[in-house]
Structures are given as C-alpha cells and as structure tokens.
Amino acid sequence: MKFNEKYDVFWLIGGGIGNIIESLYSIEYCLMQNLKVGILIESCPESFYKYIKLCYGHIIINLEDLKTINFKTRVLIHSWLFLSEHKIDYDSYFYINPDSIATQYNSETEMYLSVVKALFPSDYYSNTLKLLLEEKPQKIIKSEIVNKFVLYPGCSANDPSRRWPHYLTLIKMLGENNSIIIGGKDDLDFSMSYVYPNLISKIMPQQVLNRKNFWSICKKLGFLKKHSHLNAINQNLYSYFDYFSWREMCYIFKNSIGFVGNDGGLSHFAAASGSKGVVIFGPTSSNKSRPFNKNMVTLSLNYDCQPCLFMKKSIFLYKSVGFINCPYNVKCMNNIGANEIIDKLYEQLNYKTV
C-alpha cells in the first residue's frame, strides 16, 4: 500500500556537499514562507547527510521512502547533477543547469533562488544558512583554536587540479600559531595530484593527454610532476584532518578571523556558516560556484583557458575527473602567489598589510 504525500516544493539534489549547500539557500527561503518542502539527496558523504538531516529534519526524504509513498508536488526543482530516475508527480518542473552561458548572469545558488522567489515572492533574505547547527565542545576549548585564520587546502581526491599548492608559504606569512588547517582524509590523498611535464605537454596532442591510460603509464614510468603535494601540512601544530564534526566546524568557521580555501565543499560550508575570506578558483567556474555570502570573495587569474570545466577554449581541452590533463601545469593555480591571497584576505577583513 502506498501513502500519498503532497508538497509545495520538492528538490532533487545531487553532486556533493557544495551543490547541496548551493540549493539550501532556496530551501530555507521556502521554509521561511511556511511552505511544505521535500528534499531528495543523492551522492552525498554519509556524515554530511546525517548532519543535514539533523539540521533540516523530516524534509529530507530517504530513497527507500519512494517505494512506499506516492510523492506529489506543486513545484519540482531538479539539480543538474541528479542522475537517478524517481517517480514524482508534479504540476510545474524546473531544471537547474548552470552552464557557461547561464552563469554569466547568476550563480548556481542564485538560479535556485530566482525560481522560488518568482513563484513565492517575499522580502526574506539571508546571506548565510540560518538552520545550520553548531556546537562548541570541550576539545575546541582545550585546543585554543577559535579566533584564528582557518585554511582549507584540500578538495576531492578525484578533482586534484582544484588544489592551490602554496599553503605552506601562506601559513608562514599568517603565522603558524595564528592559523588552523581543516580537512578530511580525502584531502590528504595525493594519488591523482600529478601533472604532465612541459616536454610531454608540448609534443603530445591534447587528445592523448586527455586519456587516463596515457596519464597512468606516464605516472608508472615516473614522468609526471607532483601537484600540490602538501604532505607536511598535516604535521602543523594546528592541523585537523577528519577530526571535527560538522557542528563543530560550523562553530569554528563562525568564530574564525578569516578563511582561505580551494573551491570545494568545506569552502561552501564556511561561507554558509558566516566566515569572511577568500575562495581560490582555477579550473572550475567562480561564476557558477561563487559563495552567496558576500563576505567570502573569489580569487581567479582569469586566463583564457579558464574555466576548463566548461570547455571554454576548445572541444579538446576539458577538465578531467580522476587525474590532471592540463597542458599548462595548472598555471591557473600555481601562478597565484601567497601575497595575492594575503592582500585579498586583508582587504576583506579591513586589515592593513605590513
């Protein structure tokens, strides 16, 4: 027997932590209008899924529920990364696809918001997520890590070209005792963080560089160069990988002096929690994924080949997943200096550079 469930707005969200956070702004907007909201999440780390369910409660729908409940909604909003097929009855359907054309005008977060604001007009606005839960346990008090600069040097192990390689220099400039480093186990996985040397990039066509088999052979032969192998960063006095819960990290981000991070889930989470700081963009699109919190700004060198996420330069140059195929040695990240980060960060914090 199937039970019927009727919603005002129902979201299909996929693609990881960052994409989920980008949609949560519009979800909170609808909740503030007392609308009945449902969310079906796919491709999310289990720990973050449990945290989101803790924050948002019964509106998070389990995949198993689809077998016993007939879902109906006035409005169905479909994330561009949600690939599964599920039967949901709807009156109106919206598909959010943040490609290179659409993101000239709106970020992914703003796309979701534009739909619900048009359907359900209201003056409600918040540049952070109000329903995120935080916690200040004893281990944070004992660690004396609040009111420091928080750095996020990682990203998904399968997307290593997003990593900025100069965090050790940045830590020296900010002061080791003034900085903490946060991440997960995946952020210390450097197995895919290798790039083609200049010689191979010049003599081999891009079609060959795009092939993972060719990249793997070059790696086995020792021909590749390391990209952002920050092994020493987890030996820092204030380095915490896979140590804090999401509630604890929310508290840390809210009470930080400033934040610097790569384009990744924790940077989105820091912005949504209320941090001020800088998010570094290279191969991915700052137009698409820029933080909705205006206190968190982006830094990008804006080369002609950026962002390769959208194949901007040619059909043969694209951002790979699982290895780095860049013919320019990820210059969009390597060529950003620590001084540029400091200047941008201090500008946000109204500091004066020394």
Bridge partners (DSSP) listed for residue 39:
11, 60
pLDDT tops 50 at residue 14? yes
CA-wise closest residue to 311 among 334, 284, 281? 284
Mean pLDDT of 12-39: 94
State yes or no: pLDDT of 33 exceeds 90.
yes
CA 93 – CA 78 distance, rounded (Å): 8
Closest residue by Cα to residue 167 from 158, 177, 183, 154: 154
Report the alpha-carbon distance of residue 199 to residue 253 in Å, rounded.
Answer: 42
The pLDDT of residue 327 is 92
Mean predicted lDDT score pLDDT of the chain: 89
pLDDT for the residue numbered 141? 65
Lowest average pLDDT, out of 126-140, 145-159, 305-319, goes to 305-319
Nearest to 197 by CA among 176, 175, 183, 218: 218
Average pLDDT over residues 242-250: 92
Residue-wise pLDDT for 179-210, tens only, equals 999 998 889 899 999 999 999 999 999 989 99
Q: Is the pLDDT of residue 168 over 70?
A: yes
pLDDT band for 314, please (50, 70, 90 cuts).
low
Query: Which range has the worst mean pLDDT, 203-207, 220-224, 273-277?
Result: 203-207
- CA separation for the pair 250, 244 (Å, rounded): 10
Mean pLDDT over residues 264-293, rounded?
95
pLDDT for 130 equals: 96
Confidence of residue 308 (pLDDT cuts 50, 70, 90): confident
pTM of the predicted protein model:
0.93
Q: List the single range of 60-74, 246-260, 312-326 with lowest mean pLDDT.
A: 312-326
Q: Which of residues 137 and 340 earns the better pLDDT score?
A: 340
pLDDT at 352: 56
Question: What pLDDT is attached to residue 156?
Answer: 87
- Name the least confident of 70-74, 114-118, 123-127: 70-74
What pLDDT does 304 receive? 87
Q: Write down the pLDDT at residue 275.
A: 95
Tokens 């140059």 — which residue? 317
Q: Is the model's pLDDT at 354 over the cut of 50?
A: no
Which percentage of the chain shows pLDDT scores above 70? 91
- The domains of the chain, with CATH numbers, are 3-119 (3.40.50), 138-349 (3.40.50.2000)
Quote the strand ranges of the chain, DSSP E: 3-14, 37-42, 60-61, 69-79, 89-96, 149-152, 179-183, 194-195, 225-226, 239-241, 258-262, 277-280, 296-299
Q: Which two tokens stand for residue 348?
A: 């946000």
The predicted model gives 272-276 an average pLDDT of 96
Reply yes or no on whether the pLDDT at 1 is more than 80.
no
> What integer pLDDT is reported at residue 39 of this predicted model?
93
